[in-house]
Amino acid sequence: MSVSDLKLYDFSGGLNADALRGFMVWCARNNVSDIHLQGDNHFAVGRYGRLLRASPFVVAEDTMAKLMDEVFTPELRPQVRGGNSVDRAMQLDGDMNGRWGLSRGERIRYRVNLLQGTAGRQDSTIAWTLRVIPSEIPPLEGMGLEPELMANILPAKGMGLWGGITGSGKSTALASTYRFCLDKYPDRKVTTKEDPIEFILGRPGDVLPPLQSQVGKDIPDFATGIRADLRRAPSLIGVGEMRDRETIDAGIRAGQLGHLCLSTTHIDSPGEAFPRLLMEFPHESREAMAWSLLGVLQYVVVQTLLRTTDGRRTAVREYIIIDHDLREKLGSMPWSRWGAHINNIIRQEKRRIVDQAWQLYCAGRIAESELAVVMSPRQRREFEEGTA
Domain check: are 189 and 269 in the same one? yes
Same domain assignment for residues 297 and 218: yes
Which residue positions in the chain have pLDDT lower than 70? 1-4
Residue 252's pLDDT is 98
Same domain (yes/no): 160, 128: no
Number of domains, the chain = 2
Give the CATH number, domain containing residue 201: 3.40.50.300
Domain membership of residue 374 (yes or no) is no
pLDDT in the model for residue 1:
43
Tell me: do 155 and 243 sit in the same domain. Answer: yes
Are residues 97 and 222 both part of a single domain?
no
Would residue 358 count as lying in a domain? no
36 and 168, same structural domain? no
Look up the CATH number of the domain holding residue 59: 3.30.450.90
Beta carbons of 248 and 277 less than 8 angstroms apart: yes
- Is residue 161 domain-shared with residue 270, that is, in the same domain? yes
Q: Are strands 158-163 and 297-307 parallel, antiparallel or unpaired?
A: parallel
Flag whether 362 is in a domain.
no
Residue 373 inside a domain? The answer is: no
What is residue 4's predicted lDDT score, i.e. its pLDDT?
54
Domain that holds residue 295: 140-351
In-domain check, residue 369? no
Is the same domain home to 83 and 172? no
77 and 158 housed in the same domain: no
Q: In the prediction, which pLDDT does 96 show?
A: 79
Buried (b) or exposed (e) across 217-254, using 16+ Cβ within 10 A?
Answer: eebebbbbbbeebeeeebbbbbbbbbbebebbbbbbbb
Residues 53, 179, single domain; the answer is no
Using alpha carbons only, what angle is made at residue 159 by residues 153 and 164, rounded to the nearest 5 degrees?
Answer: 75
Please report whether residue 25 resides in a domain.
yes
Same domain, 163 and 280: yes
pLDDT, residue 97, reads 80
Mark whether 76 and 192 lie in a shared domain. no
Which of 133, 154, 174 is the endpoint of a domain? Answer: 133
pTM: 0.87
Q: Is 104 domain-assigned?
A: yes
Residue 371 lies in a domain: no
